[in-house]
Amino acid sequence: MVALPLVTAVQTWDPERYARNARFVSDLGAPVVELLAPRAGERILDLGCGDGALTEKLVGLGCRVVGVDASAAQIAAARARGLDAHVGSGEDLTFDDEFDAVFSNAALHWMKRADRVIEGVWRALAPGGRFVGEMGGDGCVATIVAALSAALARRGHDARAVNPWYFPTATEYRARLEARGFVVQSSALIPRPTALAGDVTGWLETFAESFSTALPAGERPAFLAEVQEALRPKLCDASGRWTADYVRLRFRAAKPLD
């Protein structure tokens, strides 16, 4: 399998801005929680837990949940909910045989070293454990990426060098899971056009910082305005409502019993 290019990605998480522009991320997490089918008393690792909105739901169902996220600000917000949450990279998990399930919503596409993530998940799970996740899949926000790339190209930059996302096909991610020994029980690519809380600039500021920080600070407002106008005919309806072209990859895989 081809190694993914690693990029100089810059992404910061401001919990207040996240709550304003991205609450839909956890609000739309019900299908992956359903696929997880958590049972009271289970030990669950929430990988990329963000501000802990779904972690809190799993705790409410009686699970013993540990959250991990690379963002210290998001972990502080998760801890403010009273959760057991820790700063850490999903590409360097250090758990060993500790969980009945590893759960991940809308986080794995930020982790470009996918095989390292899968290896860490495998080690974190007890035999018989399961890995259930939803992430951006092949084609996710392709319209937005194209507009960002074109606007950067007009300024002499190659967006591939700063694109922070990994959106695999179902076949590719299945192959990675199976190569590590997981038995893939389900895997599907699901187009899910997603209504945004405000205009696309709020979304770009929340999720696509890596593209705009390729430019000097003074050029960023014009860059974002240009991208918004390029996207308006494609993603904004006559009433001014914006919808992003999300595609989800949702999967469930089991670590066999020894």
Q: Are 209 and 10 in contact (CB under 8 A)?
A: yes
In the numeric block, which tokens belong to residue 187?
A: 């895997």
Is 207 among the residues that bind ligand BEZ (CB under 6 A)?
Answer: yes
Q: Which of 52, 136, 137, 168 binds ligand BEZ (CB under 6 A)?
A: 136
Q: Binding string to ligand BEZ for residues 146 to 185, with x set by CB under 6 A, is what?
A: -------------------x--------------------
Which three-class secondary structure state does DSSP give residue 60? helix
Alpha helices in 40-111, H assignment, sequence order: 53-60, 72-80
Is 141 among the residues that bind ligand BEZ (CB under 6 A)?
Answer: yes
Is 111 among the residues that bind ligand BEZ (CB under 6 A)?
Answer: no
Q: H or E element: which one contains 17?
A: helix 15-27
Is 204 among the residues that bind ligand BEZ (CB under 6 A)?
Answer: no
Q: Which of 36, 49, 117, 140 binds ligand BEZ (CB under 6 A)?
A: 140
Q: Which of 33, 49, 65, 106 binds ligand BEZ (CB under 6 A)?
A: 106
Which three-class secondary structure state does DSSP give residue 9? coil
CA pair distance 85, 82, nearest whole angstrom: 9
Is 66 among the residues that bind ligand BEZ (CB under 6 A)?
Answer: no
Alpha carbons within 13 angstroms on the beta-carbon side of residue 155 total 20
**Minimum distance from residue 2 beta carbon to ligand BEZ (Å):** 21
Which residues, including other chains, have CB under 8 Å from residue 191's CB and lie 6 or more apart? 139, 245, 246, 247
Q: Binding string to ligand BEZ for residues 6 to 45, with x set by CB under 6 A, is what?
A: -------------------x--------------------
Is 214 among the residues that bind ligand BEZ (CB under 6 A)?
Answer: no
Scanning the structure block, which residue is given the tokens 């060993």? Answer: 96
Sites of contact with ligand BEZ (CB under 6 A): 25, 106, 136, 140-141, 165, 207, 246
